[in-house]
Amino acid sequence: MESHFEKVPLPRSERMPIAGARALGAVDPGERVEVSIYLKPRSTVPTGGALSREQYVASQAAHPDDLARVEAFAHEHDLSVVEVDAARRLVVLAGTAAAMAAAFDVQLDRFEHSGVTYRGRSGPVFVPAKLASIIQGVFGLDDRPQAQPRLRRSQPLQVTASYTPTELARLYNFPTGGNGQGQSIAMIELGGGYRSRDLRAYFQQLGIPKPKVVGVSVDGGHNAPVGSPDSADGEVLLDIEVAGAVAPGARIVVYFAPNTDRGFLDAVTAAIHDTRHAPSVLSISWGAPESAWTLQAMQAMDQAFQAAAALGVTVFCAAGDRGSSDGVEDGLAHVDFPASSPFAVACGGTRLESQNGTLLKEIVWNDGEGGATGGGVSDVFEIPVWQSQTGILPASINPDHHIGRGLPDIAGDADPATGYQIRVDGQMLVFGGTSAVAPLWAGLIALINQQLGTPVGYLNPLLYQQLSQQLRSITLGDNGGYQAGPGWDACTGLGAPDGSALLSALQNRQPAEAIQAARTETAEAR
């Protein structure tokens, strides 16, 4: 068995304790623990054009020798191999808490915070020196809740106006003549669930066919409606009903996973590499401030999104609902992850007002304590070339004023006071939040993919280099720290969509090889 001095700390695996968490003592040494080990890519992932899945596996899948080395490590430490997936570069191991602690040289304790108990660790994960060069990250030793849904439920007296998703599609001039047929829209859900009777009633009320909805279990997560619209059920139904109303011909595939960094990452890679459902769009409405993540988790998620770009899958992520602080109470500006990945389209929020089916006014969503769009400058990811080469140099309002990946990229209606009419647990309610914008755009891209006959894929370079004129810049408002203005801003990005104009521009776009692919590296945490 490996001795301690033959192991090295895995870079960027350090885990910080949650402030205010109460220690409950060591975990039961016999407790069963599963971990997901992700391996590094063999080469730079190409993102300039879509690869077939066969081409991707040939160039990017884990090498059999590397997988065998991880399996040998497991056997040396009395751990069993649960799953090996070369395309995802994933090895899942299981064993007792005592065996896991010994294998990775960590101390596992139990904690309580905000009424939730979890297994936690602090400091780095250790791996054999001979494996350190091939391991991207080890996930699952710590199972604290990782993310929150980015939705807001309106209060009855606060609603100025509300819209069905189909009404918003008309206001945003989404293309007609298609319904998303032949497309699959993937959604990541880290809790809650849906009931078919809610979906039947909702789409019957809208007068459109109910889309096919499929649930996929990841790491034991499953469709488990709580029965309260204030639970994660609200997020699940918001996502399904918004995307399904916009693109009722598309198949909605919901990947349910535990709300941990392991569950989140495993659900994302399961969706991206799902050869059965083969989604062309991925919508993510969950997130957390960058400071709440380990850097190894952010790197692994960013690598997964790079794989999505290579495979022609467009990724949309909610940018957060707590303004420029992202809910971190340290007096500084923060942004949400995974929206801050340069390989995700970060979705900001607006307040939309209309009359008689005509859009009258759209400003930044900022209702103070009632919520505000997230947005700002990443502390982790460097500025991508598709921002810098178009003259956009996002500068943080923090004291160092560093330049970095600016978000959001685009926007849509998110204010609960002008929110979305959604059916949840037998009730018609109004929801907002940037988590509504991600499935709204996902539905739009499903419509566009159908009419193009090919997936749009990695959208970010196109948005900045060829499609900015097809977005309506939002010039009024702020999110607490950043001000809106003409062109790109850290409140609403490049703006809200004109769906038909986007389709027309994409039909006449330059070939993918004429667009310089964005290459970014995860910078050291500042």
Active site residue ranges: 235, 239, 435
DSSP state of 294: -
| Strand 314-318 versus strand 281-284 pairing type | parallel
| Strand 7-9 versus strand 126-128 pairing type | antiparallel
- How many Å apart are CA 487 and CA 496, to the nearest integer? 11
CB 18 within 8 A of CB 305: no
Backbone angles phi, psi at 471, to 5 degrees: -115, 145
Q: Which two tokens stand for residue 317?
A: 């992520």
Q: What is the DSSP string of 394-451?
A: -B-SSTT--B--EE-SEEEE--GGG-EEEEETTEEEEEESHHHHHHHHHHHHHHHHHH
- How many Å apart are CA 163 and CA 44, to the nearest integer? 43
| Strand 80-85 versus strand 152-153 pairing type | unpaired
CB 78 within 8 A of CB 99: yes
- How many Å apart are CA 115 and CA 126, to the nearest integer? 30
Torsion of CA 356, 360, 363, 368, to 10 degrees: -50
- How many Å apart are CA 102 and CA 108, to the nearest integer? 10
- How many Å apart are CA 135 and CA 66, to the nearest integer? 9
Decide: helix, strand or coil at residue 465. helix
Query: Between vectors from CA 95 to CA 143 and to CA 97, what angle results, nearest 5°?
Result: 55
DSSP state of 468: G
- How many Å apart are CA 155 and CA 8, to the nearest integer? 52
CB 416 within 8 A of CB 353: no
- How many Å apart are CA 372 and CA 366, to the nearest integer? 4
User: Helices 434-452 and 233-246 sit at what angle, rounded to 10 degrees?
Assistant: 30
Residue type, 245: A
- How many Å apart are CA 440 and CA 488, to the nearest integer? 20
Residue type, 253: V
CB 187 within 8 A of CB 243: yes
